[in-house]
Structures are given as structure tokens and as C-alpha cells.
């Protein structure tokens, strides 16, 4: 069977499992993404204010998240929507890391911005719109920072693996794949969550795989269920949008969890962690999660 997958994804040979490489573990500030711990990345879609970001960082840390996500630069469907604070947003993220101890993941949208974003972020996120922006992928790879590569909204698994291969070709082995839903004929949700892609990627690739249930659902009511599905499918972590007051968020409020909803979601994952024999990676001083069942 391995031979058939090798043939199907022949353009991405270094991304596929081999007898010599069964698993890549991405090290970030003492975290091992793709190892035995399940890593949750959480935070607001956009960095809005210092208060909003700090409150979120401290809460998600207590709830078990290990990485703070937040957009300093925001690709938006409308050019008139909030585009992010840019450098000021990066500085706020850096202060949040100092205060909370969380690592930082944030999106970089332009190859020209890679050095600046890499100066502040621990992980560079390549968004769905840029999955095949090869100049950006090459620049991000050369930054030396781990790269979180989101699947393009209309990309096949083969397309995603080819983009990952390009990053490896440019000397960066630290790639994290992210399934965030794809566009199909279905309009009830923002995207169609391709849970089969998580299982497939874990089967054929040695790279860590995380899931973004927020963008897949587009509706906060569905995020916890999709998160549980991602754990069951074998994901190594989650990327979840969390906001102190989602109804007043400057972007993506409808799919963002409030603090109580985030806590409930994290607690609901415990039986699924137990089923897989996973550990929930918690920082020192984190609030113990209550078992559900």
C-alpha cells in the first residue's frame, strides 16, 4: 500500500513517510508538535487591543492551550474590512508571549514581511489564500521559523503536499499541515471539514497535522463537535478562534468561542484524548481540566 501512495504523491517524496522517517516533531519553545502531546493553539482572529489580547492569552493558558494565535496582518474578503494592526499587532503579540509564556503563531501575507514577522513570531502561518504563493513559501522557509501551512480552500491533498515539499526543498523541515475545510457545493457551513484528509495525511506523511474547526464551521456552535472529530481522526493539535466578546469581535466573531465555550470544548476533548492515549500538554500552573463522561 505504501508504494501506491508513493506513486500517487510522487511529486512530494520528502513529505511522505519512509522507513527512515516515520514522524517529524516540530520543536517550538519547549513544545513538541507532532510528538506525544496534543497542542492547542487558540486566540482571536485579529489582534485588536492590548486588553483583548492579554485577557485571551491568560485565559487560554489556564484552559490548556500552549500557543497563542492572533492576526497582526489579516487577509479579508472585503478590502474595506479591518486589515490588522501590522507591526503594532506583532509587538502586542510579543508582549503577550512575555506575560503568558505562550508561543506565538501569526500569519505572514507577503514575502517582504517575512523577516519582520519572523522577528516576533515563533511559527509563521501561511493562510489558505497563499498556500500556492511559492515566493512566499520560499521566503518563509528561509526564515528558519517553523511554518504552519494551511490547506488552500480549493486545494487537493496532493496540492497541499506539493507546497509542503517546496518548503522542505528550501531547507526547512519544520512544517505543520493544517486542515481548515475546503469549498464545496455545501453552503450550510463556511467550508466543508475534510476529516478524511486528516486521517490520510497522518497515514501518508511524517509531518504533524492540526485542524482548524473554526474556519471549517464558520459557526461557533459547531466548533466543539468538529474539534472532537479532529482528535478522533488523529490530529496532533487544534487551531481555534477565541475572543472575550465574540459578538463585538472586529473579524470572525460568529465562529469565535467565548471563554466559557473554550473551557467547555477543552473539557469535552478528554474522553477522546484518553481513547488515543494522548497527553494534553499543559503549562505549569494551568487549571486542571474536568473530565466529561
- The pLDDT profile of the chain, 293 residues, written as one tens digit per residue, is 456 888 999 999 999 999 999 999 999 999 999 998 999 999 999 999 999 999 999 999 999 999 999 999 865 455 544 455 789 999 999 999 999 999 999 999 999 999 999 999 999 999 999 999 999 999 999 999 999 999 999 999 999 999 999 999 999 999 999 999 999 999 999 999 999 999 999 999 999 999 999 999 999 999 999 999 999 999 999 999 999 999 999 888 999 999 999 999 999 999 999 998 876 655 554 443 333 32
Full-model pTM:
0.91
pLDDT for residue 82: 43
DSSP bridge pairs for 144: none
- The CB density around residue 135, as the number of other CB atoms within 10 Å, is 11
Say if residues 286 and 42 touch (Cβ distance below 8 Å). Answer: no
pLDDT for residue 36: 87
pLDDT for residue 280: 61
Q: Does the structural domain 2-277 have CATH classification 3.40.50.300? A: no
| Domain locations in the chain as residue ranges | 2-277
Sorted by sequence, the CB contacts under 8 Å of residue 259 that are 6+ apart come out as: 56, 59, 63, 242, 244
What is the C-alpha to C-alpha distance for residues 272 and 229, in angstroms, rounded to an integer? 9
pLDDT for residue 287: 40
Cβ-count burial of 290 within 10 angstroms (0-12 exposed, 13-18 middle, 19+ buried)? exposed
pLDDT for residue 279: 65
DSSP bridge pairs for 68: 42, 104
- HEC assignment per residue over the chain: CHHHHHHHCCCCHHHECCCCCCCCCEEECCEEECCCEEEEEEECCECCCHHHHHHHHHHHHHHCCCEEECECCCCCCCCCCCCCCCHHHHHHHHHHHHHHCCEEEEECCCHHHHHHHHHHCCEEEECHHHCCCHHHHHHHHHCCCCEEEECCCCCCHHHHHHHHHHHHHCCCCCEEEEECCECCCCCCCCCECCHHHHHHHHHHECCCEEECHHHHHCCHHHHHHHHHHHHHHCCCEEEEEECCCHHHCCCCHHHCECHHHHHHHHHHCHHHHHHHCCEECCCCCCCCCCCCC
Q: Nine-digit cell at 272?
A: 477522546
Count the alpha carbons within 13 Å of 153 in the hemisphere toward its beta carbon.
12
pLDDT for residue 78: 52
Cβ-count burial of 43 within 10 angstroms (0-12 exposed, 13-18 middle, 19+ buried)? buried
Amino acid at each position: 500500500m505504501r508504494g501506491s501512495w508513493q506513486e500517487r504523491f510522487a511529486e512530494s517524496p520528502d513529505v511522505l513517510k519512509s522507513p527512515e522517517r516515520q514522524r517529524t516533531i516540530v520543536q517550538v519553545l519547549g513544545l513538541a508538535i507532532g510528538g506525544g502531546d496534543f497542542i492547542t493553539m487558540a486566540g482571536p482572529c485579529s489582534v485588536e487591543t492590548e486588553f483583548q489580547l492579554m485577557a485571551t492569552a491568560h485565559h487560554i493558558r489556564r484552559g490548556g492551550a500552549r500557543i497563542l494565535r492572533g492576526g497582526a496582518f489579516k487577509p479579508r474578503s472585503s478590502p474595506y474590512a479591518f486589515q490588522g494592526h501590522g507591526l503594532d499587532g506583532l509587538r502586542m503579540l510579543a508582549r503577550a508571549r512575555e506575560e503568558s509564556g505562550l508561543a506565538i503563531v501569526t500569519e505572514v501575507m507577503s514575502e517582504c514581511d517575512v523577516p519582520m514577522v519572523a522577528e516576533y513570531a515563533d511559527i509563521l502561518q501561511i493562510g489558505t489564500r497563499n498556500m500556492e504563493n511559492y515566493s512566499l513559501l520560499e521566503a518563509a522557509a528561509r526564515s528558519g521559523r517553523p511554518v504552519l501551512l494551511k490547506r488552500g480552500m480549493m486545494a487537493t491533498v496532493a496540492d497541499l503536499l506539493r507546497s509542503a515539499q517546496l518548503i522542505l526543498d528550501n531547507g526547512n523541515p519544520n512544517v505543520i499541515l493544517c486542515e481548515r475545510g475546503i469549498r464545496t457545493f455545501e453552503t450550510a457551513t463556511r467550508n466543508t471539514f475534510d476529516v478524511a484528509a486528516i486521517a490520510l495525511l497522518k497515514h501518508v506523511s511524517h509531518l504533524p497535522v492540526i485542524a482548524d474547526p473554526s474556519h471549517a464551521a464558520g459557526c461557533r456552535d459547531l466548533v466543539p463537535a468538529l474539534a472532537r472529530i479532529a482528535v478522533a481522526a488523529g490530529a496532533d493539535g487544534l487551531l481555534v478562534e477565541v475572543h472575550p466578546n465574540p459578538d463585538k469581535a472586529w473579524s470572525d466573531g460568529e465562529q469565535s468561542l467565548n471563554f466559557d465555550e473554550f473551557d467547555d470544548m477543552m473539557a469535552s476533548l478528554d474522553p477522546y484524548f484518553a481513547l488515543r492515549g494522548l497527553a494534553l500538554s499543559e503549562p505549569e500552573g494551568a487549571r486542571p481540566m474536568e473530565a466529561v463522561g
